[in-house]
Amino acid sequence: MLSAPQIQSEPITLTADEAARRIGVSAHMLWRFRSGNEGNEGPRYIRIGRRVLYRPADVDAWLAEMAVVRADALANNKKRGRPTKAEAAARRQQAEG
């Protein structure tokens, strides 16, 4: 008799340790996010009694929000800092005439 193949599906919820491993931080760091000490709320979580659980979709969505995109700064081509003497002179000439 053949047995049905076992399908490995993603769990409905993750423990704090599992979510921390998925994100790449410690469980203590997730606790710090939940307590508001980091200025970042961290991923959404579910509290059932004393137990804290995370939905994989919420963890993934939070991780996507944390992605830093530098392309917007590069697309503007804005130079940061003080202008050079040549740039300042060119701006003065533009303003005068």
Categorise residue 5: left if φ over 0, alpha if ψ from -120 to 50, beta otherwise. Answer: beta
Q: What is the pLDDT of residue 56?
A: 95
Q: pLDDT of 51-93, one tens digit each? A: 999 999 999 999 988 887 665 555 555 666 788 888 889 988 9
Helix boundaries (H) for 24-70 = 27-35, 56-65
CATH of domain 14-80: 1.10.1660
